Amino acid sequence: MSVARICELVIGGSRANWALVGINFSHDGVFFIGEIALRIDESLPPGMHSWVLSNIDSTIVSIDGISTSGFTSKSRHEQNEVNGFVLTPLGIDHVVVNTPNLERTSHALYQATGAELKRIRDAGNSVRQGFHRLGDVIIEIVSAPSMPAGNASLWGFVLNVKDVNEVAAYLGPDVLSPPKPAVQKNRLIATFRGAVGLGVPIALMSDI
């Protein structure tokens, strides 16, 4: 059983766009989602760039091309005080990794973390999904014929919230798509629109 955990996800882009959906970063660019730090580096282009994992070999710098570093103890940062809507996610449900070679990336993740491949799902149209678990977070590895050859990459993530209908009603359909049944039984999912400019595909899920 894997003892590795995700401690931090590093993204790029403008924090102003994230504030539009209620994610307000601290002065030094951190927003906590449970125990996981979402860190923004505005010097980087929009997108997901790297992650920090606990309980891995300190010499690991990459997992099949995904920039990786080991966790070093850091003090917890306070969130900014803000007015208006604040998104309060319960945690990260899953992180999506894109790869042209599911088996290769899955093996690399297992070698680095000890997290075994739980199952592979055929999602249709030659899209395949492999599932690992790091702590409470599912790692969903996705492969498709359309993906270019090369390394794996962090793509997006899904946040658990208390009531996705409530968030959708507040933000409106131009920001968050209307909730619909998720693949997971008795759950709803809604996705932030690309026009919001987050640069990272993000969805929200809650129980029905």
- Going from N- to C-terminal start, the domains of the chain cover 5-72+80-207
The identity of residue 90, as a single letter, is: L
The identity of residue 33, as a single letter, is: I
Q: If we measure between CA atoms, which residue out of 45, 19, 48, 75 comes closest to residue 201? A: 48
Separation between Cα atoms, residue 193 and residue 200, nearest integer Å: 10
* 85-119 pLDDT, tens digit each: 889 999 999 999 999 999 999 999 999 999 999 99
* 148-175 pLDDT, tens digit each: 999 999 999 999 999 999 999 999 999 9
Q: Which fold has domain 5-72+80-207?
A: 2,3-Dihydroxybiphenyl 1,2-Dioxygenase; domain 1 (3.10.180)
Indicate if the pLDDT at residue 1 is higher than 70: no
Separation between Cα atoms, residue 107 and residue 65, nearest integer Å: 13
**Cα 89 to the center of its chain, rounded Å:** 12
- Supply the pLDDT for residue 72: 74
Q: What percent of the chain has pLDDT over 90?
A: 90
The identity of residue 31, as a single letter, is: F
pLDDT-derived band of residue 192, with 50, 70 and 90 as boundaries? Answer: very high
Longest dimension (CA), the chain: 46
Indicate if the pLDDT at residue 186 is higher than 90: yes
For the chain, give the mean pLDDT: 94
